Structure 1
Amino acid sequence: MHPESVRTGERVPHGGETNRDVLDFSANTNPSTPGGVEEAYEVALERSRRYPDDDYPDYRAAAAEFVGCEPERVIPTPGGLAAIRLAMEITLEPGDDALVLSPSFGEYAREVRLQGASPRFVPHDEILATEGSVLEDCALAVICTPNNPTGEAADPETLAAFAARCSEAGTTLLVDEAFLGFTDLPSAAGLDDDCVIVARSLTKLFGLPGLRAGFAVASGDRRDALETARRAWSLGTPAARVGAHCLRRDEFVRETRERVANERDRLHTALERRFDVAPSDAPFLLVDVGDRDVDDVIVSAREDGVAVRDATTFRGLDSHVRVAVKDRESNDRLLAALGVLEADGSEGDGTAEAADDETHE
């Protein structure tokens, strides 16, 4: 990291509600966890009396099988964000430029700046068409699929073509697949292109954000650099053993994907009665509240015991909230808090909306 950039840098806001009495739709994590997690953690805790095996053979094998690559290409990290930082540390130097999609996860630009480099923002729906001198001028390009907060996943063929152009330009391509496990789309790890680094997070798909388990996937010199640069004992024993257990729960993953797809469609249809809602492949929806005050929407929902994400903290968004997709009962509570459903599950009559309109006259 660049010392001067660290001294002048700032932290960025995130979702996540610490009050357990509030139903949290601000963080996009699975409300369910795989069976056997408690038992796996109990065994791991006892084994934490010794340092973990720094090679992490079982964790690498489980991660490799999950994304479809060789175990030696997997680099264990304490969460997906740690993989992102590690990728930027081995790629960027002070003065470099990095291509970053917008709006997207705020940590990309922050991590670029912490390396003394500069983010070059490109609209999220245009970045995969970038070519030529723009790519050649950038040491790094960052893709998020599905993108947070807009929700669209990259078409695999379009992404592969973009990776090929990055390779020709000598540009490292970092693909953040934190939410890809909620889809049945293939990982960019399957591209096996030396220019590509994939970052994965386990904790969203498996409902364990506090566990801090993730990994990177790379080939060639970039893989070697990541392996050399990663911290010794980069995963605690509980994270490694529980993570490997979760990665092998195929039925849980299938059931999660089906539930998220069904509930996302249901939420999208319901929310469109009052708001503009972006199409999504992710376990969340980006909601444009129009001329309603975003703070009022957030406060009103919280008064009903529901936390939604203020999406105006994302670059270029000024009238949006983001809501996670959870189980049916919780989703109905969200719809009621946003005035789409009454507490008994019937459709709202627009009273809340009329009150909002009157307030802003």
Structure 2
Amino acid sequence: MNPEAVADVDRVPHGGSEDTSRLDFSANTNPDRPPGVAGVYESALSDATRYRDDFSAFTQAAASYVNCDASMVTPVPGGLAALRLAVAVTVSSGDRVFIPEPGFSEYAREVKLQGGIPVGIAHDTIVTADTTPNDIAAVIICTPNNPTGDCIDPEVIDAFRQRCIETDTTVIIDEAFMDFIDAPSMAGARGTIVARSLTKIFGLPGLRAGFAVADGVLGDRLESARPTWSLSTPAAAVGQYCLTQDDFVRATRERVSTERERLRTALETEYTIFPSDAPFLLLGVDTTVSAIADRSPTTKTDAVDALLAHARENGIELRDARTFETLDAHVRVAIRRPHENDRLLSVLLED
């Protein structure tokens, strides 16, 4: 991290509400958890009385989960920690890094903390970007993209990866939402660092467990740079357990796919809905939305403000997507359980 850069970098907004009285559609975490998690966590507490840096069981479970060799897996406390580690071992002061727009605000922040220069590229064209300039240190890809939800064809990513190898450009791939899709991970592919999180699919954001995957020199850098004791003992135990819960993952994928389509069909009568393979939908808000008609918004900004306020008044928290670069009149909604999604529809489509 570049000490001189820290003072000029601000924290960025995220989804997630601490108000438990509201139904939270702003965070993209699974509202369900694998059965048996509490017992695993409690059992691990007895081992938490001593220092432990052997994560071999966790890394083996992670490797099986994404189909790579266990030696390529670096355990970290969450997907964001994986992203920070990936950027730290690839970006130097003055380096340019391509990041997707719209995209997760932390990408630019992490690049800036290293003294690098984030360069926004349209999220759906970033895999065709020209990396031939010598100062392009890395390209960050998010698939499925946050906040649009669209997934990039793995074959297209692979072809781009091979071009980046020729220019010595590292491809950092955020696969935080890949768990919701039956598609191959890029974990272990040469020239890439893949960041994975257990937060989303397993519904445990407070656990802080995830991992990064890289081969060769990149993998060695990650392992050397990671903090000692980079996972708590309970996080490693619960993470290992969750990564073996195939039936839970399969059931979650089916529920999210079904409910996402149901919400899309219902909401597209009032909102512009972006195609999504993720556990959320991005909604474009117009001034004519019936749910906010009584407030008579005159601009799209007014319309988003009115919709967010309307939702809060009815016990629901939405994500203000204007915090994502290039979005000016959008909200993002998570896909939750059927009865909770019914509640969302009743509020967003209220006349």
Q: How does 1:1-361 map to 2 (within 5 A)?
A: 1-52=1-52, 54-131=53-130, 133-134=132-133, 136-190=134-188, 192-193=189-190, 195-291=191-287, 292=300, 293-338=303-348, 340=349, 351=351
Distance 1:294 1:185 in 2: 34
> How many angstroms does 1:273 deviate by?
1.2
User: Displacement, 1:133?
Assistant: 2.5
Query: Mind listing any 5+ residue stretches in structure 2 that lack a counterpart?
Result: 288-299
Distance in structure 1 (CA, Å) of the matches to 2:131 and 2:47: 52
Note if contact 1:131-1:165 (Cα within 8 Å) is conserved in structure 2.
no
Contact 2:72/2:215 (<8 A) preserved: yes
**In structure 2, what is the Cα distance between the partners aligned to 1:146 and 1:45?**
35
Distance, in Å, in 1 between the alignment partners of 2:5 and 2:130 is 29
TM-score by length of 2: 0.94
Distance 2:276 2:176 in 1: 15
What is the CA distance between 1:299 and its match in structure 2?
0.7
Please list the CA deviations of residues 78-120 of structure 1 after superposition, one character each: whole Å capped at 9, or x if unmatched: 0000000001111111110001110000000000000000001
> Which letter does structure 1 place at the counterpart of 2:104?
F
In structure 2, C-alpha distance between the alignment counterparts of 1:51 and 1:180, rounded to whole Å = 32
Identity of aligned residues (%): 54
TM superposition shift of 1:4: 1.2
TM-score, normalized by length of structure 1?
Answer: 0.92
C-alpha deviation, 1:130, in angstroms: 1.5
TM superposition shift of 1:137: 3.5
Amino acid at match of 2:127: L
SS at match of 2:21: coil
Using the alignment, how far apart are the partners of 1:90 and 1:132 within structure 2? 18
Runs of 4+ with >3 A deviation? none
Please say if residues 131 and 169 of structure 2, whose CA atoms lie closer than 8 Å, have aligned partners that are also in contact. no
Deviations 1:139-198 (A, max 9, x none): 0100000000010011011010011111111001000000000111110115x21x1000
Aligned residues: 337
Aligned equivalents of 1:181 and 1:30: distance in 2? 11
Is the CA contact (8 Å cut-off) linking 1:15 and 1:27 kept in structure 2?
yes
| 2:212 counterpart letter in structure 1 | A
Q: Name the aligned partner's letter for residue 124 of structure 2.
A: D
State the distance in 2 between where 1:222 and 1:181 align. 23
Specify the SS of the correspondent of 2:205: coil
1:357 maps to none
CA–CA distance in 1 between the matches of 2:131 and 2:231? Answer: 39
Superposed displacement of residue 132, structure 1: 5.0
Alignment RMSD, CA only? 1.0
Indicate the residue corresponding to 1:354 in structure 2: none
For each residue in 1:32-74, what CA deviation from the matched residue of structure 2 results, as whole angstroms up to 9, or x when unmatched? Answer: 000110000001112111112x130110010000000011100
Instruction: Give the Cα separation in 2 of the matches to 1:132 and 1:266.
Output: 40
Distance 1:299 1:105 in 2: 23
